[in-house]
């Protein structure tokens, strides 16, 4: 991670792992908007992928082999934004839509099943 942070969430493809923002210190919080990524097949430090729309923590992530979504989170008020990313390219979030209710720290899911079949 490029910053020390808490309440981080993640998403991945077969080649790249993404780490979504958290907060710096639970006692005196400030929020990050930067997404970090690693290349799974190699060793090395995290790198800057891009930014989420709103600096937040405690958002939920989901992904398949191509796309990642980062939804909700707190700033400290709960958010309803859904951020969209193409995992194979770096860059800032695109607005995907909104949750039906502002929330943070909720469960998420994926359509990928690990190649069973």
Predicted local confidence at residue 112, as pLDDT = 61
What is the model's pTM? 0.81
Q: Is residue 115 part of a domain?
A: no
Residue 3 pLDDT grade (very low, low, confident, very high; cuts 50, 70, 90): low
Q: Is residue 54 part of a domain?
A: yes
State pLDDT tens for residues 40-65: 999 888 899 999 998 888 888 888 88
Q: Is residue 2 part of a domain?
A: no
Q: Is residue 47 part of a domain?
A: yes
Predicted local confidence at residue 96, as pLDDT = 94
Q: Whose structure tokens read 């190649």?
A: 115
Q: Is residue 112 part of a domain?
A: no
State pLDDT tens for residues 86-106: 999 999 999 999 999 888 777
Q: Is 83 exposed, middle or buried (0-12, 13-18, 19+ CB in 10 A)?
A: buried
Mean pLDDT of the chain: 82
The parent domain of residue 80 ranges over 9-103
Q: Is residue 33 part of a domain?
A: yes
What is the share, in percent, of the chain residues with pLDDT greater than 70? Answer: 80
Q: Is residue 4 part of a domain?
A: no
Q: Name the domain count of the chain.
A: 1
Burial 35-47 (b: 16+ CB within 10 A, else e): bbbbeeeeeeebe
In this structure, what token pair is assigned to residue 1?
Answer: 């991670």
């Amino acid at each position: 991670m490029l910053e020390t942070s808490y309440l981080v969430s993640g998403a991945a493809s077969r080649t790249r792992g993404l780490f979504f923002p958290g907060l710096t210190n639970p006692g005196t919080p400030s929020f990050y908007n930067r997404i970090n990524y690693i290349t799974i097949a190699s060793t090395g430090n995290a790198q800057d992928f891009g930014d989420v729309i709103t600096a937040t923590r405690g958002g939920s992530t989901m992904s398949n082999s191509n796309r990642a979504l980062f939804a909700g989170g707190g700033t400290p008020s709960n958010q309803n934004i859904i951020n969209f990313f193409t995992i194979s390219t770096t860059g800032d979030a695109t607005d995907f839509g909104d949750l039906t209710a502002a929330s943070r720290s909720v469960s998420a899911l994926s359509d990928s099943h690990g190649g069973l079949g």
